[in-house]
Every structure is written in structure tokens, then in C-alpha cells.
Structure 1
Amino acid sequence: MTSDDVRHRREAGHFVRWALAQKIARDLSFPAVRWNGPSQAMDDEARWATARRLLHDDTLKSEDR
């Protein structure tokens, strides 16, 4: 699960954490994935600015928009 070509690493991590929380598994560890998202909630103006950018910025990939 640590090689670069493995698939579904993220989903496996979620499953392992769920199994531990449900006490189905013991002594399992899984490398954490660092999330680089916002560290705090966005205010209304920032949320609207992001929405406008996603709607109108043609430099963004369509999958991200």
C-alpha cells in the first residue's frame, strides 16, 4: 500500500480507520494522507468569490470547475 502505483490507497485508509473505530480490527496502522484544504470555514464573500471563479475562469480544468 505504500508504493506509488497502488490504487485505492485513500479508500483503504478510510476502511482501516472505520474498522478500527468499529473495533473489528486491532493493531492496524495506515499512513495518514495530509489534507491541504482550508484550515477554517470560509465566510460568505469568500464562498461567493470561489463560486464565481469556478463558473467563469476558463483557465481551470473542466473537471475542477
Structure 2
Amino acid sequence: MLAQVGFDQLVGPILAPYLALWYLAAGVLLGEVAIGIALLCIRLWNRDVESPILREDRLR
């Protein structure tokens, strides 16, 4: 009977929630890495721009 049911039909419903959580965690991690890279690029791109607050402090 066990051989007729098949491995996928037995293990699939057990592993599906765990695989979904792993894929969700991997997606969140990749999203955070992408946001971090984007923020780093914005910071490097705006490096030469002086903020008005710093300019005001320097002029005092």
C-alpha cells in the first residue's frame, strides 16, 4: 500500500509549509539586500551634495 501511494503524496503535504516559509524567508532576505544596495548607491550618488543643515552649521 505504501509503495502505491508514492513518496510525493506522503511527504509533499508535510514539507510544503516549511518550503513556503523557506521561500518567504529567502525572498525577504533578498529584498533587504536589494534595499541595502539601493540605499548605498543613493548615498554614494549624493555624497558630494552638502545638506542645508551642515552648510548652516559651517557658516556660523
- Structure with larger Rg: 2
The alignment's TM-score, normalised by the length of structure 1, stands at 0.27
TM-score w.r.t. length of structure 2 = 0.29
